Structure 1
């Protein structure tokens, strides 16, 4: 049986994109190992739906660039050493590296020297991500370094996956060879909705009109604007509620904004929800707002 290894500096259980790929590979007859961060349950090693998961207890306490750098460097070194040792035993045919960070691809270089192909799945456009998050200028030395690492990373990969055509076009303009890249958009797993027969979770008032967001909580996605807009609309929609599912660096700022606007009874910050439970939450909402990866106009300079 051919074996594939996936790297992701995230909690595997909550990373819907990585999980869908891994479980699709299992269904296709491959053996799959994943290197990721230890989840909230603290499990170091476990198997989920046939996927073998190996984790590092690092946490996600990101805030400053220094903290980002520390977490990225620590996970990189651990992945480099762990993957190199596992490669001797398992002889992976493919290493699937999921960003961020882009340079995590270099942790798979020893595996390439031993015969594995490298795939880089670019979940974000890194320079624009940091420009938005920290207000960095496009011509700053730090963004210049990030752009250099981005290009070096996709040049290192045998194949590159992007999440939308606009991002693919942007990376091609930055030097990515068109012949080695494809687009695989984020999409819901319809099988989860068909098989979701358990009662809906959560509570809601009888007459509430629920609007819901599920995804990462970062400034780039404009959730502060959604809260402000919801505050303005209260007069016209007194029975409405806004539920925000997910974790991220904007969790505390959003909570503060909700309190400042007096919306604690109307805006609910639910926290992390496993991908398998999302269909049950959606049953409660009449309107759903999801991240639109195809619309990159707000984050591409």
Structure 2
């Protein structure tokens, strides 16, 4: 069976898509991916672990307005429509699995669907709320209402809708006329083999705190940096290592200025994003994983993949107390701090440093949770959807 995945993202750093694609390859499927390329580092075509990657557009993450943001997406959409149709005529895809953001990428499969392909829309992020929080707009604004209408049309067009968490499944069902049986939640589960490879953390020179992921105001990276003067006052050997892409160039510069202002050079470092295999090595030299995202109409319900990754690596997690995290976890698995409160974050980090038993208890409880919530167990749900659509 031939399957194509489409996303306005980079394959190598999107672990959700990697899980889907490699699992289909394991079943003997031919899998293509159509997505973005980094400006100078990615070839237009390459094969990675059996998946054929087609990079049709580059992106520099320098959008300063909603219009530049949408312009790049529209360019990707138009090029992608033609390329996907061409590939479908060559490959005759049985399944086309399209990932948002944005939702309307699903219409890239309009002609292939007429020719017999079944279409999955995978909603990583709900776009109306994402737009409102990212650009500080009201939910009643024209573009927010337009995004809501586009979401409804996109959901209706797809043959099946996969959503990144249960809260969003409930929300999408409530504002769609689609059958409830055409929705399901699949979280960004970690791989069991990575969990089994995790090793106990030995004594290191530094007490390293890690944050891997998007570097943006919404993700609260500045909050973690602001906590560090309080942390290093109690723990002189504490270090914060940040790995990721800058969602906004101005914000990235603000972080550098903040590090300078707080005299944190050498104590807080910003690194380029790394592949999942490299992150596993980084986690072995860390003590705590931090998820400092802000509260908000979108982020309070956005599940952070980093939490699962930290748990899989045997790292205790410090995360902001948001609605989505309280839905899946409790205080026995995560040490929560009040959102956007850098002093409370610092307090939690210091408390974990002092209390080895609490660190070990958090890791033990999170491991028990992951035993039933990892990709090796949960990928059966994805197989069920694919088999159902393929007939």
Q: For residues 58 and 106 of structure 1, what CA distance do their matches in structure 2 show?
A: 21
**For residues 76 and 287 of structure 2, what CA distance do their matches in structure 1 show?**
40
Deviations 1:147-202 (A, max 9, x none): 111111111111111111111112122225421111111122232455689xx9xx
Q: Which runs of 4+ in 1 moved over 6 A?
A: none
Q: Is the 8 A contact 2:35 2:57 kept in 1?
A: no
Q: Which has the higher helix share?
A: 2
| Residues 192 and 276 in structure 1, CA contact (< 8 A), matched pair in contact too | no
Equivalent pair of 1:193/1:279 in contact (CA under 8 Å): no
Task: Output aligned runs, 1:124-273, within 5 Å.
Answer: 124-175=125-176, 177-192=179-194, 194=196, 207-249=205-247, 250-273=251-274
CA contact (8 A) 1:76 1:107 kept: yes
Which residue of the partner structure matches residue 16 of structure 1?
15
Structure 1 residue 297 corresponds to structure 2 residue 320: no
User: Is the 8 Å Cα contact of residues 5 and 96 (structure 1) preserved in structure 2?
Assistant: yes
Deviation of 1:230 (Å): 2.4
CA drift of 1:245 comes to: 1.2
Q: What SS does the corresponding residue of 1:161 show, helix, strand or coil?
A: strand
C-alpha spacing 1:296/1:115, structure 2 compared with 1 (3 Å)? farther
Give TM-score scaled by structure 2 length: 0.70
2:358 counterpart residue number: none
5+ unaligned residues in a row in structure 2: which ranges?
Answer: 294-301, 305-320, 325-391
Alpha-carbon distance in structure 2 between the residues aligned to 1:119 and 1:265: 46
* Paired residues, number: 292
Conserved 8 A contact 1:132-1:219? no
Preserved CA contact (<8 Å) 1:196 1:280: no
Question: Does structure 1 residue 77 correspond to structure 2 residue 78?
Answer: yes
1:223, CA displacement in angstroms? 1.8
Name the TM-score, length of structure 1 as normaliser.
0.90
CA RMSD of aligned residues (A): 2.4
Mapped to 1, the partners of 2:174 and 2:222 lie a distance apart of 31
User: Could you tell which deviates more after superposition, 87-96 or 215-224?
Assistant: 215-224
